[in-house]
Amino acid sequence: MAATTEGTHQFRVIGTRPIRHDGVEKVTGAARYGADYSFPGMLYGRVLRSPHAHANIKSIKTDKALKLAGVKAVVTGADLPELPDRIEQGGELPINLHHLSCNILARGKAMYDGHAIAAVAATSPHIAEEALRLIEVEYEVLPPVMTVEDAMAPGAPILLSSLRNKEDGPDKQTNVAAHIQFKRGDVKEGFAKADYVIERSFKSAMVHQGYIEPHNAVGIYNSDGHATIYCSTQGTFVVRSLSAAVLGIPEGKIRVVPAEIGGGFGGKTTIYLEPLSVLLSQKTGHPVKLTMNRAEVLRATGPTSGGTIRCKMGATKDGKIVAAEAWMAYEAGGFPGSPVPMAAMCILAPYDIPNILVDAYDVVVNRPKTAAYRAPGATNAAFASETIVNELASAS
Amino acid sequence: MNGAHEGTPQTAGPPYKRIGMKETVEAIKNSAHYKSKLTGKNRGRGMATGFWFNIGFQSSAMVNIHNDGTASVVTGSVDIGGSRASMAIITAEVLGLDVNDVRPLVADTDSIGYTDVTGGSRTTVATGLAVYEAAQDAVRQLKERAAKLWEKKPEEVEFNNGVLSSKNNGVKPMSIKELVPRLGRTGGPITGRATVNARAVGPAFASTCVDVEVDPETGKVTILRATCAQDAGKAVHPSYVEGQMQGGTVQGIGWALNEEYFYDAKGVLRNSGLLDYRMPTCLDLPMIETVIVEVPAPGHPIGSRGVGEVSIVPPPAAVANAIANAVGVRMTELPMSPGRVLKAILHKEGAAVASAAAD
């Protein structure tokens, strides 16, 4: 496996291959992952999840669950503060805190199969699981909207009543959270110069990062108002700031301790169980541990978007690509925020093309809210453009 | 002719600085894989190139000099892909220590300054920059202490490979280990610190070449060989760079051939387990071959580019192009599972039969 080196200056240690410092702990099993943390008096939490892809939540009754011996607390969306339903600058990326909070525990509406509805803390995982069955939720089931085509069709059921986009204005309800456009030159003129034009429509499926270690969190709320979260995450400071926002606790009062992490690939850059562990600890006065099983990971954490891409490119006889056009619509999941803005900047990035037009749409559908996955959005984009480039190369 | 290079405008406007797009394509063309001859029925070769921005953002780092002359390096970057080893390597490089004399640690949110996520391929580049600067800060302090002992100015002290010396007046050169016992009386312990918001971030390109065999009876695609060439700028720990390239390639192949969320008509996920959500295993794939390309990122003291992500980008297109090369069908839907590939083959054969009948 040869490496080609160009012009880097000489280093003594950089570029060598020592055994990793954390290697022995890992191969001997001594390394502590998130689910390995335990504390005296610790309770176990479980999350009740929606069996419906799209439903209004008419009522949630928790009294039967609370009466079960060993159950110490049940929380629902009503236990979290309401946050502003607008995009704010959160750290490096804009974020809608209302949507984030609704993804932690649903408010009024279940947006996808697996959406968190309530959480329980009990003296054993089995009692917590049993208690989930005693929570009575009355749903009004609504038609699910699963594809970008269905969500963008005129008259499509509206998934989020308050969602608007700049283009359609403040009065029009929509499932399109954003339309982004990039333009250079004049594609019409460019295609007129082309001897070969290839145009195709592509589809890609929603896929999951597939990290081996499911999500986990242990929350400890102290009576002095400080909280500690032990969890496996890609970003302790993100867990701190987002959990603080969702819980309404000042950021400086939360300490996040990173466990060893069993894979993330972008999927562990946001929060799911972390604020619930603190909320349940706050209610019970005990440390609370929550862990997901595999089905929960796949149903209710953030995979990456599938969607539709139409791509058109034109080249001259001597092989120069003179124009390219792309139309892309990505599934955001139950709340806005697919990686389509980045995909739009990636789809033509390897090439020097004088005339381009890229239109990208972030579309809400009844699927889990997408999260980052390794070069988010770029892989499905390259599937389209690199196929066309290959076809053009064979043609010209 | 078409490949992006320094000066090519990016989609969102500003031109690229020095990038290694064409170099990754050349690396594939020069690889043993590409130069090998692919023979056999229903076999094909495909290639594709992918781009990823990489990000920089904010990181904090501390380098502590211990009483025995070793050091620890503390950051807020969770280690997913071997970053602790890379942070130790960078610290050892600057301090002139053996890499095993540097202990890398990841601290909690109260024990280290703000640090953005381990993601966006930023850790080696941005946290690595903070570590580089924190180690330089420790070196600056070591020089000050030696200057105090030698009654010289700090700028008269040199530091090379862990040894402090001064040209004038013939003082005896001193290692960090020899200086450490004297830290107490020259001002106390030494901790190097740095915080950064890394702006000089080099984008990454990867090119991937894949050989496939398509079973025309079932539509099943078998990966015969795969090679990823990726621009790492400068590989700090080449084994973990190769690991990232192999991991990304495997995930890209899973996305290409198998992985898919199946929802029923009611919108309920029907494959919420790893038996039915089918990721590739070591039984499904050959060893992924790698070629590290090094086109240093301008403005970064080591020249590193983020390496964690871009290798996932080319495989689905490369596999689709290989399938087209093997059996002459253009796949336009992911994943290219046996059913979809078979349908495309049958459709093509049906079209051929229909056109023959029409003749």
Nearest CA in chain B to A383: B317
Share of chain B above pLDDT 90, in %: 94
Domain boundary at A277, A300, A323, which? A300
Q: Which of A125-129, B166-170, B173-177 has the lowest mean pLDDT?
A: B166-170
Residues B247 and A257: their CA atoms lie apart, in Å, by 27
Per-residue tokens: A279 = 């909320």
Q: Which residues in chain A are contacts of B23 at CB distance < 8 A? A: 4, 6
The domain over range B21-54+202-354 is classified in CATH as 1.10.10.10 = no
Q: Where does B57-198 sit in CATH, by number?
A: 3.30.365.10
Of A4 and B96, the one with more pLDDT: B96
Residue with tokens 């990062």: A209
Same domain membership, residue A312 and residue A224: no
| Pair A185, A194: CB distance under 8 Å | no
Q: What average pLDDT score do residues B98-125 get?
A: 97
Q: How many distinct structural domains can be found in chain A?
A: 2
Residue A2: what pLDDT?
A: 43
> pLDDT at position A90, please?
60
Among the listed residues A298, A327, A305, the one whose alpha carbon sits nearest the alpha carbon of residue A385:
A327
In this structure, are A203 and A215 located in the same domain?
no
Look up tokens 């204005």; give the residue. Answer: A169
Q: Note whether A51 and A126 are same-domain residues.
A: yes
Q: How far apart are the first and last CA of chain A?
A: 33
In a domain, A327, yes or no: yes
Question: CA of A155: how far to CAs of A158, A159, A357, B142, B298, in Å?
Answer: 8, 12, 28, 71, 51
CATH number at residue A376: 3.30.365.10
Same domain, A348 and A250: no
Whether residue B11 and residue A233 make contact (CB cut-off 8 A), yes or no, is no
Q: Work out the minimum CA distance from A382 to partner chain B, whole angstroms.
A: 6
Q: What is the pLDDT of residues B128-164, one digit of tens each?
A: 999 999 999 999 999 999 999 999 999 999 999 999 9
The confidence score (pLDDT) of residue A395 equals 86
Is residue A4 one of the residues assigned to a domain? Answer: no
Q: Across the A/B interface, how many CB contacts are shorter than 8 Å? A: 318
Q: Is A131 helix (H, G, I), strand (E, B) or coil?
A: helix
Confidence label for B354 from pLDDT (cuts 50, 70 and 90): confident
Q: Are residues A238 and A164 in the same domain?
A: no
Residues A124, B114: Cα–Cα separation, whole Å: 36
Cβ of residue A16 closer than 8 Å to a chain B Cβ: yes
For residue B169, the 8-state DSSP code is G
- Give me Rg for the CA atoms of chain A: 24
pLDDT digits (tens, 9 = 90+) for B254-264: 999 999 999 99
Domain ranges of chain B: 21-54+202-354, 57-198
CB A188 within 8 A of CB B257: no
Bridge partners, residue B75, by sequence = B61, B106
Q: Could you tell me if A137 and A152 lie in one domain?
A: no
Which among B108, B296, B324 is the nearest to A258, CB-wise?
Answer: B108
- Chunked into runs of 10 residues, chain A (396 residues) has average pLDDT values of 53 96 95 97 98 98 98 98 84 82 98 98 98 98 98 97 94 97 98 98 98 98 97 97 96 98 96 98 98 98 98 97 98 97 97 98 98 97 98 88
Contacts of A15 in chain B (CB under 8 A): 234-236, 238
Task: Give the H or E element holding residue B43.
Answer: strand B43-52
Identify the CATH number of the domain in which residue A103 sits: 3.90.1170.50
**pLDDT, mean of residues B297-322:** 97
Average pLDDT over residues B204-233: 98
In a domain, A361, yes or no: yes
Q: Does residue A24 sit within a domain?
A: no
- CA gap A302, A218 in Å, rounded: 20
DSSP letters spanning A297-319: HHHHS--B--EEEEEEEEE-TTS
pTM for this model (two decimals): 0.96
Q: Do the domains at B21-54+202-354 and B57-198 have one common CATH topology?
A: yes
Tokens of B82: 């071997």
**Searching chain A, which residue's CA lies closest to the CA of residue B82?**
A20
What is the ipTM score, two decimals?
A: 0.96
Co-location of A256 and A185 in the same domain: no
> Mean pLDDT lowest for which of A201-205, B196-200, B247-251, B351-355?
B351-355
Q: Between the CA of residue A352 and those of A320, B10, B294, what are the distances in Å?
A: 9, 8, 22
Residue B189: count other Cβ atoms within 10 Å of its Cβ.
12
- pLDDT (0 to 100) of residue B200: 77
Beta carbons of B11 and A349 less than 8 Å apart: yes
Provide, as residue numbers in chain B, all residues whose Cβ is less than 8 Å from the Cβ of A372: 119
DSSP string, A77-100: GGGS----SSEEEETTEEEEHHHH
Closest alpha carbon within chain B to A111: B267
Phi, psi of B95 (to 5 degrees): -85, -5
Question: For residue B258, what pLDDT is reported?
Answer: 96
CB contact under 8 A, B295 and A6: yes
> Is there a domain that residue A221 lies in?
yes
In terms of residue numbers, what domain contains A121?
34-142+209-300
Contacts of A308 in chain B (CB under 8 A): none
Q: Are A180 and A233 in a shared domain?
A: no
**Contact flag A7-B296 (C-beta cutoff 8 Å):** yes
A308 and A296 in a single domain? The answer is: no
Residue B168 has a CB neighbour count (10 Å cut-off) of 9
- Asked if A232 and A106 sit in the same domain, the reply is yes
Bridge partners, residue A362, by sequence: A178, A330
Written as one letter, the residue type at B304 is: S
Instruction: Find residue A176's DSSP bridge partners.
Output: A363
pLDDT confidence bin for B2, thresholds 50/70/90:
very high
Of A22, A113, A236, the CB nearest to B84: A22
Residues of B in contact with A261 (CB under 8 A): 78-80
Q: Cβ distance A209 to A264 under 8 Å?
A: yes
Specify whether A328 is located in the same domain as A272.
Answer: no
Q: Which of A238, A265, A300 is the last residue of a domain?
A: A300
For residues A200 and A120, state if they share a domain.
no
Residue of chain B nearest A311, judged by CA positions: B332
Last residue of a domain, one of A300, A333, A362: A300
